[in-house]
């Protein structure tokens, strides 16, 4: 039996919207790139045992509605496992992995392109139907998200920017998390819909043709 959808997309509540919550005490924490380099070089059989189920859930719950033949950029893609699974499930998709560390390219199948980009310092090459970003935005401050990342992503996205992040104070002890996200904050206000994945994660669907109109 295949995966059965468990969660529903919901309309974003009407305002007023609260400011994006910045985790002030962690705002100037050490960047975690060395930690992630070590994670990305691990072979698939050494990943945490929950990885296959979580990846299957994310693909089915968040990305299963994308049109055949879509171009998809995985922003802050991390370990090659996710992009490999996505292109295996939807071989008609053109998938590109983007990360700041070169090690994220290790193990990618030949059908997946790789871009090494520091999004705070460089533009993103190309155009994509969809940009998917999983557990990356929480590593940036409000100013970085609204003034640096969102303008660049909207510029290269033709349909939707889809974001998955920890909800509220989930993963609150992570010293590299700089922002927290809610269903009624100013980040949600950019979205046409959102989805809670259990109690600890929230996904946002931002239609770029309506960006900034709420």
Phi, psi angles (nearest 5°) of residue 92:
-80, -15
What are the sequence ranges of the domains in the chain? 17-209
pLDDT at residue 31 greater than cutoff 80? no
What pLDDT is attached to residue 24?
A: 64
Structure-token pair, residue 177 = 């998390």
- Residue range 38-45: average pLDDT? 84
Model pLDDT for residues 72-129, shown as the tens digit of each residue: 999 999 999 999 999 999 999 999 999 999 999 999 999 999 999 999 999 999 999 9
What pLDDT is attached to residue 37?
A: 78
pLDDT at residue 26 greater than cutoff 60? no
CATH number of 17-209: 3.40.50.150
Q: CA quadruple 106, 109, 115, 118: dihedral positive or negative?
A: negative
Q: Are 67 and 90 in contact (CB under 8 A)?
A: no
Higher per-residue pLDDT: 33 or 156: 156
Confidence of residue 2 (pLDDT cuts 50, 70, 90): confident
Q: Which residue's structure tokens are 């557990």? A: 135
pLDDT at residue 48 greater than cutoff 70? yes
pTM: predicted TM-score of the whole model, two decimal places: 0.93
Confidence of residue 28 (pLDDT cuts 50, 70, 90): low
């Amino acid at each position: 039996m295949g995966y059965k959808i468990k969660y529903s997309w919901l309309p974003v509540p009407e305002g007023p919207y609260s400011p994006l919550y910045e985790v002030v005490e962690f705002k100037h924490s050490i960047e975690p790139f060395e930690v992630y380099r070590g994670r990305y070089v691990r072979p698939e059989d050494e990943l945490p045992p929950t990885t296959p189920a979580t990846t299957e859930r994310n693909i089915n719950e968040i990305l299963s509605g994308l049109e055949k033949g879509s171009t998809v950029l995985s922003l802050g893609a991390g370990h090659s496992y996710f992009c490999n699974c996505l292109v295996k499930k939807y071989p008609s998709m053109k998938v590109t992995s983007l990360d700041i560390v070169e090690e994220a390219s290790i193990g990618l199948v030949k059908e997946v392109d790789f871009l090494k980009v520091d999004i705070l310092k460089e533009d993103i090459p190309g155009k994509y139907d969809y940009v998917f970003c999983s557990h990356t935005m929480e590593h940036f401050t409000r100013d970085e998200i609204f003034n640096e990342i969102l303008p660049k992503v909207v510029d290269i996205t033709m349909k939707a920017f889809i974001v998955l992040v920890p909800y509220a104070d989930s993963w609150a002890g992570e010293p590299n998390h700089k922002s927290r996200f809610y269903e009624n904050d100013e980040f949600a206000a950019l979205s046409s819909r959102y989805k809670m994945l259990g109690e600890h994660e929230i996904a946002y669907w931002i239609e770029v043709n309506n960006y900034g109109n709420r």
